[in-house]
Amino acid sequence: GRFNGAEQLFWPLPGVHVTAVGYAGGLTPNPTYQEVLSSLTGHAETVMVVFDPRLIGYEALLKVFFERHDPTQVMRQGNDIGTFFRSAIFTTSEDQQSQAEQARNAYQLALKQAGHTGKIATEITPAEAFYYAEAGHQQHAARNPGAHPGLKGTGVRFPDAG
């Protein structure tokens, strides 16, 4: 899965304490990796980021999110196809929900200004449950130096605030 490569994108950011990979946005309680791959559970492969908002703002995390994958792809990332590869942000507060929606709108405008014709397909919804992925998926890139996240962005920079 791409979640175990995507989590490493957040590791170098100051104020990020830990990441974990798992499943969110689905119907089945405590799904397994194989169940998620069936597309029957409705879950997305997800990275949970625990951060100190005094050291890093939520907008900085959103910048990494939007720049480092292609949010215009529907139910896929590159060659990885399935509902579990959909672009999604699961928020934990109304403030995060609002900021994520504003970031999506700002990035959509940046895409348009750069001549990109895609429409952002990112699902933004309150987190209902996060289920940790199996131990073999956690911190995968740390155990496999040189592992590539397997994600490709659009090449369009997230707009600076202000």
* Cβ proximity of 11 and 45 under 8 Å: no
Burial 37-56 (b: 16+ CB within 10 A, else e): beeebbbbbbbbbebeeeeb
**Range in 35-39, 78-82, 122-126 the model is least confident about:** 78-82
**Range in 16-20, 75-79, 116-120 the model is least confident about:** 75-79
- DSSP 3-state assignment of 75? coil
Higher pLDDT, 106 or 144: 106
Which band of pLDDT confidence, cut at 50, 70 and 90, is reported for residue 5? Answer: confident
Give the model's pLDDT for residue 109: 98
Residues pairing with 126 in the sheet: 91
CB atoms within 10 A of CB 83: 19
Ramachandran quadrant class, 147 (left: phi over 0; alpha: psi -120 to 50; beta: rest): beta
Give the model's pLDDT for residue 76: 87
Give the model's pLDDT for residue 141: 83
Which band of pLDDT confidence, cut at 50, 70 and 90, is reported for residue 162? Answer: low
Q: Is 161 exposed, middle or buried (0-12, 13-18, 19+ CB in 10 A)?
A: exposed
* Cβ proximity of 109 and 26 under 8 Å: no
12 pLDDT more than 70: yes
Give the model's pLDDT for residue 1: 42
154 pLDDT more than 80: yes
pLDDT tens for 109-138 read: 999 999 999 999 999 999 999 999 999 899
**Range in 27-31, 79-83, 107-111 the model is least confident about:** 79-83
**Mean pLDDT taken over the chain:** 93
Which residue, 16, 2, 24, is CA-closest to 126? Answer: 24
* Cβ proximity of 56 and 14 under 8 Å: yes
